[in-house]
Structure 1
Amino acid sequence: MAISIADIKALREQLGTGMVDTKKALEEAGGDLEKATEILRLKGAKGNAKRADRSTSEGLVAAKASPAGYTMIQLACETDFVAKNEKFVALSEKVLDAVAAAGATDVASALAAPADGKTVGEVIDEQAATLGEKVELAKVVTLSGDDFAVYLHKTSKDLPPQIGVVVAYSGTDADTARAIAQHIAMFDPQYISRDEVPADIVEKEREIVTEISRNEGKPEAALPKIVEGRLTSFFKQVALLEQDYARDNKQQVKKVLEDAGLTVTSFARFKATA
């Protein structure tokens, strides 16, 4: 039977599918739009299954205020070509809206959140079929706090933000709080203070630097002092307050925060590239 251009156009606008696939689905469905939609979605689901083992080393980071505080997501895809695609960016906005509204705090609860009469997971799968790549919600966080500083960084001007930082803080100096978010984007601390670093991680690092120092032939009597010095360097790598400030490496972050009357209560950093 003859398939009208209007039906092809309507279905393509609804699903974002290609001209040939849309026309074939309508022909197979005998012109029935609902049946053709089902055919195209099933075809997309099969494509998603084939892509399941592929790696997703590109994507974007997005964030917004939510009823529970501030929510950030990392939506991943396979290539930078899709990462900057309008449909992928629009999908990220829809997902972020739904996840923020639900107050989801992890990927599992985010995927189950309602979105357009479906779940977020279903919306992502349908769009992945259209885009022809594996798309997944890689990370989700919702921070609570008095105030929030947000920094979204573009690693390339033609791509959406691929590094995102949200800082929950108390205090009134919003400019310094944002500068701290930028610092976190650059230096990637894992904890706020050295006290937050788990004891087993500290002990493992102590064993490593002790062994390194012995292998370097350091005197046994000097080892405790040498090891403590190297542990201090380790804390400067992983603990925000111990780090040298990005804008002035003669000051530690904790001094900058003290001078600004700020207290960082939590933070999250996502990076959407491998």
Structure 2
Amino acid sequence: MASVNMADVKRLRELTAAGMMDCKKALEESEGDFDKAVDLLRLKGAKDVGKRETRTASNGLVAVKHEGDSLAALLELNCETDFVAKGERFQQLAADIVAHILATKPSDVPTLLESDLNGKTVKEHLDEANAALGEKIEIRRFSVLEGGFITSYMHKTDPQLPPAVGVLIQLDQENSAVGKDIAQHAAAMAPKYLSPAEVPADVVEKERSLFEQMTREEGKPEAAIAKIADGRLNGWFKDFTLLEQTFVKDNKKTVAKVAAEAGVKVLAFTRFKVGQA
């Protein structure tokens, strides 16, 4: 079996994003033939696709695509390592898929996976990337907002990596400055819901029950428990609903007040952070 030098191994890894040992073995098996080594890695990748189903894809990126001021899509595409996330092929795949989402507006991830993108299903494109890059590649979630005025903010947690946090903000009318401010706020403060009215009833009841239990265990009078729990629930709304949160740029105002003073209304938002619920 031919010996290989580390420079060739490194070059092969940079080209294919395969693991160092896999690159070394491919070069050895191909007796130093670089093109043949690339083919061997692709073949190995295709065979290993099924084996990766149980592996965790907790890295990746968030990608955005706008069409005018009133339509935008946000996508979280996952992989296993930062190395693949910062690669050109992975980022191009994300760009192609988020553009496809914007054009077709699929109802959910399964529908997206079965849809046609340039003569192949999106799932087939993922499988090809999976084979070529040697990692589990998957679409975790996506969102499409349409109507009004939509702005976005993309945040890099590491300057060497693609954006890991993405936010879409939908306003009822154009205001780029306020839209950007609220998008940046949402990126930093991670609200879960737009307003208290939009929190699902089962979530509200779960939180209220928890607060009642906490209050009871603190020894508070039974007659006061409901009122105290409601107060704590209102505090929870201020922490986890966008409009009730204290605005990061002015702690004397809520996000709702900032929007109202600017003469706009926040209709909806989406916030994705790679690997986060």
The amino acid that maps onto 1:53 is T
Distance 1:20 1:147 in 2: 53
State how 1:36-185 maps to structure 2 within 5 Å.
43-66=44-67, 69-185=71-187
**Count of equivalent residues:** 251
8 Å contact from structure 2 (residues 243, 254) kept in 1: yes
Distance 1:173 1:86 in 2: 34
Q: The residue matched to 2:49 in structure 1 has which SS?
A: helix
Give the C-alpha shift of residue 55 in structure 1.
Answer: 0.3
Percent identity reads 43
- Who is 2:190 aligned against? 188
The amino acid that maps onto 1:60 is L
- Who is 1:256 aligned against? 258
State how 1:189-268 maps to structure 2 within 5 Å.
189-268=191-270
Structure 1: tracts of 5 or more residues without a match = 1-11, 26-35
Compared CA separation, residues 19 and 42, structure 1 to 2 (3 A):
same
Give the C-alpha shift of residue 81 in structure 1.
Answer: 1.1
The amino acid that maps onto 1:54 is R
Q: TM-score, normalised by structure 1?
A: 0.83
8 Å contact from structure 2 (residues 73, 102) kept in 1: yes
Q: The residue matched to 1:155 in structure 2 has which SS?
A: coil
Distance 1:124 1:22 in 2: 26
The amino acid that maps onto 1:104 is P
Distance 2:24 2:217 in 1: 66
Give the C-alpha shift of residue 104 in structure 1.
Answer: 2.2
- Who is 1:8 aligned against? none
Q: Deviations over 1:74-99 (max 9, x none)?
A: 11000111111121112211222222
8 Å contact from structure 1 (residues 66, 103) kept in 2: no
8 Å contact from structure 1 (residues 98, 120) kept in 2: no
Please, which moves more after superposition, 154-163 or 181-190?
181-190
Distance 1:94 1:176 in 2: 29
Distance 2:227 2:182 in 1: 31
Q: Deviations over 1:159-189 (max 9, x none)?
A: 0001011111112321111111111111121
Give the C-alpha shift of residue 41 in structure 1.
Answer: 6.3
Q: Deviations over 1:113-152 (max 9, x none)?
A: 3222211111111011111111111111111121101011
8 Å contact from structure 1 (residues 65, 71) kept in 2: yes
- Two-structure CA RMSD over aligned residues (Å): 2.7
Q: Deviations over 1:213-272 (max 9, x none)?
A: 111111223323311210111111221111111111211111111001111111111111
Distance 2:174 2:148 in 1: 10
Give the C-alpha shift of residue 24 in structure 1.
Answer: 7.7
Distance 1:243 1:97 in 2: 32
Compared CA separation, residues 144 and 23, structure 1 to 2 (3 A):
farther
Structure 2: tracts of 5 or more residues without a match = 1-11, 31-37
- Who is 1:5 aligned against? none
Q: The residue matched to 1:246 in structure 2 has which SS?
A: coil
Distance 2:168 2:200 in 1: 22
Compared CA separation, residues 40 and 116, structure 1 to 2 (3 A):
farther
- Who is 1:33 aligned against? none
